[in-house]
Chain A
């Protein structure tokens, strides 16, 4: 459904392309399509109305800047207004702090608590977790199991019934740690007892941050819930979870607008590493169903591979085994290939299924095999005949079949990237043309 919406959005933009002056009817159509796209992404109805009003007046009233066409002008306004919706990214400081987690039942607080603990741990902080969920059976088991996996101390007692007392004890027990994360029971704004409880917990912990966890699928209710939580404890950051499904997380925008805070993290996956810092541009691109290359760039940088993985060269088709080696190394740090490909502005292109099938253990094997190749073979895999295959296999302690499989994988990657290259203009990576091409293909 989202795909048809984003393509109708693109169609509406296309209509503006050839125009010399801003056409009222075309703008109206664009705004209408935008409204539908945003409403389907669960953005608050009132926000959508305010936004579309602003876009309409700005598009019609503002003078067309020099050297831009109507389409670019309107698109920029749309983008600016959308970015304004998500406010600033909330800061995550690497200093001693207490973080209180709040949210509805089943929004993913416990899983996110463990992920955040892992995040700070990776940044070199000493982290501890307190399980203040004294209601849900298994809550302590869940959190302590997750924490045990990453060697983070977890304070809690499955038999306790008083969360306030438990948290007081917990704060004493792990007071030497720098970052303390307090996981709480799920609650919603219409439960006065539980709201009072979290107000008390906020006082007891003197929390530096109070983060609200929002399920990406949460609908129009997000506004109301966020407002009540904000009134109770003053939310200063929002975390969106379950972004690995098909939900667009528009409800989180309502929460951001209500709490006047920013989005801190995005959770997308069931393993403890699947937590990303929020990026406004990327989020909006996904919201509207358009790809985003900026998020990819940042991700590459974080893996400190920016200088080594040359996207441009790869897109041009200069792709050797050497590149693949670097890429596999980088991918190990960046996460699954599928996640990376989703961030490329190639929309909903269907890649051959096999491309994603390379598991991390296979990647390790591939790298060992490539270590056994000569520089010449790495630059020109065409050289590899059966006798060379034998030698490579022996050197890597493997079989020629494995080498063959590796070459097959290489060919598939090569073909895929060559396919991408055909869509750029003159070797230069041209996002707009790509988008157009793909919107035509859908």
Chain B
């Protein structure tokens, strides 16, 4: 997973390490002979230079300047952009790495690599946030736990609902699915077949019915049958369609979900940020599911969306089978991206 981004980050890491290393090699010969005369000669002119010299003499440390890493950061920027990390998010990550590297004192003995990896790692972890343990959440809350799935068209909401249904069933929870996509032709049939295959109860009305009513019935069913989890599928909608967004708002009011899960695809580019922000603003989002991760080894969208709405990633969808879903673990992902060892 994310092997593309991993390779690229590896290259940038070497590059950053290289440019800092180069400073290290160029600088050391100077202090021994010249440091003593130059310190009194330019005391008021530039305190940073004095600082540098002092550090070189006393602590034998190095200061990383913005110029040293500018080129490598440019390369990191391109890498992130090519990996579908949205422009504003890329800017944020670069700024983060820059501030944590520039002005940093590095002891001569300390590995350059560790410094760079540390900076990248904290920047990425910062952006990805914490994971989300769904089974633990369900155990800790009053049943039924109602989960509403939202997102734009064709991101894989219905498939995700089926996969999460299978996952929770395996964990020993009882599940009911609400066929809330009453708009798209064939949608009810689609989720119906999934539910039948998985042996999960489904509540459905006919095409064109009010989705709020379907999902209300689903919640009623769950309450009277003491079902653990309600998974509410909805029709895909664009955040620009005011009527559809208010329909979603109505669904939220009627079924009062415990969790709103926003579903988007890993292959989405910059628009991922725009629509995630808009969904978060209008109906809210508590967690994110990223689908079609198997299509894309770059994983930039994960970083973009997580950074934009600051909500945890719940699952990654990694294929067409019901088992192809993995709980998201930010530490593991960052570890993997940066090739561990750090």
Given contacts A138-B193, A142-B187, A242-B153, contact A188 B292 (CB under 8 A): yes
Does B265 make an interface contact (CB < 8 A)?
Answer: yes
Choose one: B81, B185, B294; the contact of A188 (CB below 8 Å): B294
Given contacts A217-B269, A245-B152, contact A1 B194 (CB under 8 A): no
What are the residues of chain B within 8 A of A118 when measuring CB–CB? none
Report A228 CB to chain B, min CB distance, Å: 11
Most buried by A among B239, B241, B274: B274
What are the residues of chain B within 8 A of A221 when measuring CB–CB? 84, 267, 295-296, 298
Contact B294 A136 (CB under 8 A): no
B295 nearest CB neighbor, chain A only? A188
Contact B185 A215 (CB under 8 A): no
Report B282 CB to chain A, min CB distance, Å: 14
Choose one: B186, B268, B272, B294; the contact of A141 (CB below 8 Å): B186
Report A163 CB to chain B, min CB distance, Å: 14
Contact B270 A40 (CB under 8 A): yes
Does A145 make an interface contact (CB < 8 A)?
Answer: yes
Does A135 make an interface contact (CB < 8 A)?
Answer: yes
Given contacts A146-B185, A219-B269, contact A104 B292 (CB under 8 A): yes
C-alpha gap A57/B241 in the complex (Å): 43
Report B143 CB to chain A, min CB distance, Å: 28
Contact A138 B294 (CB under 8 A): no
Report A354 CB to chain B, min CB distance, Å: 14
Does B155 make an interface contact (CB < 8 A)?
Answer: yes
Contact A220 B269 (CB under 8 A): yes
Given contacts A104-B267, A215-B154, contact A220 B298 (CB under 8 A): yes
Does B83 make an interface contact (CB < 8 A)?
Answer: yes
Interface string of A183-227 (1 = CB under 8 A from B): 000001110000000000000000000000001111111000100
Interface string of B180-197 (1 = CB under 8 A from A): 000111111111111000
Tell me the chain B residues, 196-215 only, with Cβ under 8 Å from chain A: 207
Interface string of A226-260 (1 = CB under 8 A from B): 00000000000000001011111011000000000
Choose one: A36, A139, A190, A247; the contact of B87 (CB below 8 Å): A36
Contact A245 B84 (CB under 8 A): no
A104 nearest CB neighbor, chain B only? B295
Contact B295 A245 (CB under 8 A): no
Question: How many chain A residues have a CB neighbour from B under 8 Å?
Answer: 45
Size band of the B side of the interface?
A: 35 or more
A241 nearest CB neighbor, chain B only? B154
C-alpha gap A141/B186 in the complex (Å): 5
A218 nearest CB neighbor, chain B only? B267
Contact A142 B185 (CB under 8 A): yes
C-alpha gap A145/B185 in the complex (Å): 6
Contact B275 A246 (CB under 8 A): yes
Tell me the chain A residues, 118-139 only, with Cβ under 8 Å from chain B: 135-139
Contact B239 A137 (CB under 8 A): no
Most buried by A among B87, B269, B270, B296: B269
Does B320 make an interface contact (CB < 8 A)?
Answer: yes
A246 nearest CB neighbor, chain B only? B274
Given contacts A42-B269, A250-B269, contact A137 B189 (CB under 8 A): yes
Given contacts A215-B154, A220-B83, contact A41 B270 (CB under 8 A): yes
Report A280 CB to chain B, min CB distance, Å: 21
What are the residues of chain A within 8 A of B294 when measuring CB–CB? 188, 190
Given contacts A39-B81, A225-B295, A246-B239, contact A219 B270 (CB under 8 A): yes
Given contacts A219-B270, A220-B82, A245-B275, contact A40 B186 (CB under 8 A): no
Given contacts A142-B187, A217-B269, contact A40 B86 (CB under 8 A): yes
Does B46 make an interface contact (CB < 8 A)?
Answer: no
Contact B84 A220 (CB under 8 A): yes
C-alpha gap A39/B186 in the complex (Å): 36
Choose one: A108, A141, A246; the contact of B153 (CB below 8 Å): A108
Contact A218 B275 (CB under 8 A): no
Contact B189 A217 (CB under 8 A): no
C-alpha gap A36/B298 in the complex (Å): 20
Contact A106 B190 (CB under 8 A): no
Most buried by A among B186, B188, B298: B186
B272 nearest CB neighbor, chain A only? A217
C-alpha gap A102/B69 in the complex (Å): 44
C-alpha gap A245/B241 in the complex (Å): 8
Does A105 make an interface contact (CB < 8 A)?
Answer: yes
Contact B189 A141 (CB under 8 A): yes
What are the residues of chain A within 8 A of B153 when measuring CB–CB? 106, 108, 242, 270
Report B226 CB to chain A, min CB distance, Å: 28
C-alpha gap A342/B8 in the complex (Å): 40
Contact B292 A105 (CB under 8 A): yes
Does B34 make an interface contact (CB < 8 A)?
Answer: no
Does B300 make an interface contact (CB < 8 A)?
Answer: yes
Tell me the chain B residues, 238-253 only, with Cβ under 8 Å from chain A: 238-241
Does B78 make an interface contact (CB < 8 A)?
Answer: yes
Report A180 CB to chain B, min CB distance, Å: 21
Tell me the chain B residues, 307-338 only, with Cβ under 8 Å from chain A: 320
Does A261 make an interface contact (CB < 8 A)?
Answer: no
C-alpha gap A137/B195 in the complex (Å): 11
Contact A219 B88 (CB under 8 A): no
Does B301 make an interface contact (CB < 8 A)?
Answer: yes
Tell me the chain B residues, 134-182 only, with Cβ under 8 Å from chain A: 152-156
C-alpha gap A429/B9 in the complex (Å): 51
Does A319 make an interface contact (CB < 8 A)?
Answer: no
Contact B298 A141 (CB under 8 A): no
A–B complex contacts, Cβ < 8 Å, 19 sampled: A42-B84, A45-B81, A104-B267, A104-B295, A106-B156, A137-B189, A137-B192, A138-B186, A138-B191, A145-B185, A190-B294, A190-B295, A217-B271, A217-B272, A218-B267, A219-B268, A221-B295, A245-B239, A246-B278
9 tightest A-B CB contacts, nearest first: A219-B269, A142-B186, A138-B190, A106-B154, A137-B193, A42-B269, A247-B271, A145-B185, A141-B186
Measured CB to CB, the residues of A under 8 A from B are: 1, 36, 39-42, 45, 104-108, 110, 135-143, 145-146, 158, 188-190, 215-221, 225, 242, 244-248, 250-251, 270
Q: Knowing that A138-B188, A242-B152 are A-B contacts, what are 19 other residue pairs whose CB atoms are under 8 Å apart, sorted by A's residue number?
A: A42-B84, A42-B269, A105-B156, A105-B295, A105-B320, A106-B153, A106-B156, A108-B153, A138-B187, A142-B184, A219-B269, A219-B272, A244-B238, A245-B239, A245-B271, A247-B268, A247-B271, A250-B269, A270-B183
